[in-house]
Every structure is written in structure tokens, then in C-alpha cells.
Structure 1
Amino acid sequence: MSLVIRDAEPADGLAMGEIHVAAWRSAYAGIMDPEFLARRDPVAVGERWTASLRGDGATGGEPAPWARLVAALDGRVVAMAAIGPARDEESDIPRAQLWMLNSHPDAFGTGAATALHAEVIARLRERGETRAYLWVARDNLRARRFYEREGWAGDGGAHVEELGGVPVAEVRYVRDLCARTR
């Protein structure tokens, strides 16, 4: 088994769309509207990823990401992550944010997400960041266990994000990037 972590390229866009949709369908089952999840089109999402990775299209006022990474297992892209500056305006939060980390359900248990996460942490450290935060759906227990195992902890921050027309409660996790886990 060969696992490679690298920067995402436009050619990865369609695979990223497949991962994004499959990960959402798995993670948000029972949390989000099932019809919304069923309507998510992996090809359309992938085309948006391709355009974004090429630098095409508007960012919707979002800051540019610092890195978009993928994990390729035996040549197949199976997980993806994005990091960037904080997208929240609170003054007491870290200035670095893990925007997303998604793994295709077929890759659960392969170590791809763990290796990808390790590279995310390394990239943030290389930038000189000492702390980072992320938002995770409160009811996404699998993701919460993953992040907790990787050294993230809830800091009491919470909000409700509307996803697919459904309010989804999210909790904020923070991690000291100087601390080593495991």
C-alpha cells in the first residue's frame, strides 16, 4: 500500500468532488436533510473544485486558502484537506483554521486521514502558527473522536450553520500546534 500526501492539483478536482459528497453523505446522515444529501452532485462539486484549484471563479469574499492537500492511496485520491486564515472575526481565537478534512468512506481505517492531518499540522507549523481551530458538527461523533485523538479539544465555542437548508449545530475545537500527540 502506497500513501502519498501532496498539494491538490486541478486534475484532482473530480476526485475531490466525489470525496466531498461521499464524506458529507456519511458524516451528515441523520444530521442533515437526506434529500439534500442525495441531490449533492459529485461531478458538479468536482467541477467547482477543479475551477478553484485552477484559480478560476469568485471566492465569494472568502480569504484564499494557505494550502489544499490530498491523500492518494495507491494512486487514488481518497482524502482532502484545506487550511487557511481564520474565517471568524472573534479576537480570542487562533488566526489559523483547519477549514476542512474529508475522507472517502472507502478509505476509513486506512490511515490516510491521519497522515493527511499530520501534514496539515506540519504545514501550519511551517507557517509559524502556534494554535489553530476548526468547526465540526456537534453530532458528527466520528469526526469529533478523530480530532480528539489528534490533540484537538473543544473550547466552548458553538454556533449554528445552515447547511442545505437545515440548521446544523457546530462546536469549535482548538489545538496547540507546539504539542506533539501520540
Structure 2
Amino acid sequence: MASWRGAFTGLVPQDFLDAMDPAAIAASWADSIAAGRSRLYVAALGEQVIGYAGVGPERDATAPPGTGELYALFVHPSYWGTGAGRALADAACADLRNAGFVDVWLWVLEANTRARRFYSAYGFTETGDRTHSSLNNLPEIRLAVRL
């Protein structure tokens, strides 16, 4: 949860962050993985989890064939700038490429300039698509990269 709070403090309402339930989030990922809808990569130092990335097929039914999605990429704030995020993005994109995907899409909060800089440095570009987050109704933009 520290990775979420670090990424979103000041960007989303504090009551939203306070209400986040780690057990419910873990159960949701477990269900998605068990159903074959997603795969999860974890960065760890010893026994300590410092980040994770989740990937799978693009959920947007209008996406072209061969489009995967980076559902989530979070790193504990203590490890920002260490390469952990890059390693997770590399593993996630390699997974999608090996599964036959040729493009990766993701949604990022428009106000999350730190994440947008990270994804831009990785090669993601804005597609022009915009929406509002289903979790908190904040503006999001779609980014894409060709594998």
C-alpha cells in the first residue's frame, strides 16, 4: 500500500487512499491470475516486496488485435529511482511480447507527472484517448508503446 500512497498522495482524495484494503486488492489479483486474465511480476529484496507490475490482454474491446495492457506498475517510494520500476516494466513487456502481443497500452492519471515521465522515458507516447478513472473519477490518459 505504501507504493500506492506514495504514487497517489496529493493526486487522489485522502479518504480514497485511507479506505484502500490490501487484502481485497490481493484477493482481486489472485482471482485474476487464477482465471488466467493477468500475470503479476514482483520485485523483492530478500523477503521485502518493493514493487509489482500486472499485465494481460488489453481490456478495451476496441483495441487492435495484438494489444496487451500494463494494468499496474507500482514501486515503494523508498526504491524510486533505483531501477526497480524499469526492471518491472522490462519483465512485463517481455511477458507480453513472448505471449504474442505487439503493442502495450496503459492508463495513467493525467496529474501523475512522475509516472508520465517514467513511461515517456520508457518509450510510451500519448494516444490522445482520455477517460475518467473508474475508481475515483479523475482524468486519465492512455499511453502506448510498440514492443
Compute the TM-score of the two structures, normalised by the length of structure 1. Answer: 0.71
SS at 2:4 equivalent: helix
Distance 1:78-1:157 versus aligned 2 partners, 3 A rule: same
- Structure 2 counterpart of 1:122, one-letter code: A
Q: Distance in 1 between matches of 2:80 and 2:54?
A: 19
Distance 1:74-1:146 versus aligned 2 partners, 3 A rule: same
Matched pairs, number: 147
- Structure 2 counterpart of 1:132, one-letter code: V
Q: Distance in 2 between matches of 1:154 and 1:119?
A: 22
- Match among 110, 121, 134 for residue 149 of structure 1: 121
Task: Please say if residues 73 and 112 of structure 1, whose CA atoms lie closer than 8 Å, have aligned partners that are also in contact.
Answer: no
Distance 1:84-1:70 versus aligned 2 partners, 3 A rule: same
Per the TM alignment, residue 29 of structure 1 is displaced from its structure 2 partner at its CA by 1.7
Q: Distance in 2 between matches of 1:118 and 1:54?
A: 19
Q: Distance in 2 between matches of 1:174 and 1:31?
A: 22
Task: Please say if residues 87 and 97 of structure 1, whose CA atoms lie closer than 8 Å, have aligned partners that are also in contact.
Answer: yes
- Match among 7, 27, 44 for residue 48 of structure 1: 27
Q: Give the number of the structure whose alpha-carbon radius of gyration is greater.
A: 1
The answer to whether 1:118 aligns with 2:98 is no
Q: Distance in 2 between matches of 1:45 and 1:84?
A: 20
- Structure 2 residues without counterparts, runs of 5 or longer: none
Identical counterparts, % of pairs: 35
The answer to whether 1:64 aligns with 2:37 is yes
1:103-124 alpha-carbon deviations (Å, 9 max, x no partner): 1112112211111111112111
Q: Distance in 1 between matches of 2:133 and 2:75?
A: 21
Q: CA RMSD in A?
A: 2.3
Q: Distance in 2 between matches of 1:122 and 1:82?
A: 12
The answer to whether 1:99 aligns with 2:71 is yes
- Structure 1 residues without counterparts, runs of 5 or longer: 1-20, 178-182
